[in-house]
Copies of this chain bind each other. A is one copy, B any other.
Amino acid sequence: MTSPKMMTVNTSSRNYPIYFTTGFDFLTEAISSLEKTYSKFVIITDDHVNPLYTQQIIDELANFEREVIVSSFIPGEHYKTLKTIESFYQDLIEHGSDRGTLIIALGGGVAGDMTGYTAATYMRGVDFIQIPTSLLAQVDSSIGGKTGVDFNGYKNIVGAFYQPMLVYINVNTLQTLPRREFMSGMAEVIKHALIKDSKYYDFLSENVEQIKALDTEVLIEMIYQSCAIKKSVVDEDEKEQGVRALLNFGHTFGHSIERLKNFEYLHGECVAIGMHGALELSKQLGLISSDEVNKGLALIKAYELPIYASNLEHDLLYQEMFYDKKTTHNRIVFALLSALGESFLSKEKIDQHTINQVMDVIIN
């Protein structure tokens, strides 16, 4: 067994490795390298992922000769609630889990966010690791320590910054991911290229077929590049006081569309429409050209993602944007492009008229 590709995230609260692998056979070594003696393992996963990968993880953990508990939940954003978190607390208590427990997030973004939040808040914090199995989780949500749940329809409004001990990515889990979910994850990949790296944009344009065919080698390269961009931002600004908000490119419109459409679109699909909005807004403000907007849209469309939302009222959408966590002092902060691969945060208030013009373009 050769050591897999890896990278280290360096936040102010903790440094931790990300492993890029094609199987689960390195997991024992990865956990051993933490040099901690855990009293128990608790795998939190959803009912879709559970039958696919849990047994493989349990087989690996057998090397530690400790009890392994599995807590599974009904998949989907609808169950990303404090009620589900309470069911995890209940399971942890019933099995006598103490502070020496290692909790394992196995699944997509929802599993990672909820597991991380459970780990952050059970007994004031126990260790956890991320084993993301969706593209969205592998390139985005498993890295950086954002954890949380929705509350009364407000996405991730309850949560904590809490870093994992390690992130273990097995790209072969993408083989079992529904195609629509894979494409949804591509929205975050495209976002990374648009905000930070024009060469990465070229890579994504040139490898559309290989990526869609889930070519393992190209996937590892892509996920590694996306994680490198995410890592660089998180290293600089763990708690989102500044540059980390750049990762919100497309999300200000996107989150609001997601809320108003009551989750009929996938997250990445809303981000794709939201990136259309952010590209258009950057153009309206004279920052980028129509050509650059079209180049951005071409990549989004190449990965079969939507760029328009239908049946939305301008006023409602505008109002929703104010409830975003990034709003401070009644000013919406937008991540904007100054070129393909270069981004910054808006410093001035952008008037409602301009935002309405953008809505005219992205709502059909």
Contacts and interface: CB of A to CB of B under 8 A. Distances in A.
A219 B173 CA distance: 63
Copies per assembly: 2
Nearest to A40: B329
A146 to B, nearest CB: 7
Contacts of A39: 328-330
A308 interface: no
Interface in A91-124: 93, 96, 98-100, 120-124
Given A82-B86, A86-B82, A151-B89, A125 B325 contact: no
A157 B125 contact: no
A240 B99 CA distance: 11
B99 A328 contact: yes
Given A329-B39, A330-B39, A160 B98 contact: no
Contacts of A120: 160
B327 A125 contact: no
Q: Point out which of A13, A39, A98, A148 has the most chain B C-beta atoms below 10 A from its C-beta.
A: A98
A98 B325 contact: yes
A37 B328 CA distance: 11
A98 B328 contact: yes
A146 B99 CA distance: 15
Interface in A139-172: 146-148, 151-152, 154, 156-161
A90 interface: yes
A190 to B, nearest CB: 25
A323 B147 CA distance: 26
A322 interface: yes
Given A93-B154, A100-B329, A161 B124 contact: yes
Contacts of A230: none
Contacts of A328: 39, 98-100
Given A86-B82, A90-B152, A329-B39, A159 B99 contact: no
A330 B240 CA distance: 39
Nearest to A156: B124
Given A82-B82, A123-B325, A124-B161, 6 more contacts: A13-B13, A90-B152, A100-B329, A121-B158, A124-B160, A125-B239
Closest 10 CB pairs of A and B: A124-B159, A100-B328, A123-B325, A39-B329, A98-B327, A98-B328, A121-B158, A124-B161, A89-B151, A124-B160
10 contacts: A82-B86, A98-B328, A99-B325, A99-B328, A121-B121, A124-B146, A124-B147, A124-B148, A124-B156, A125-B161
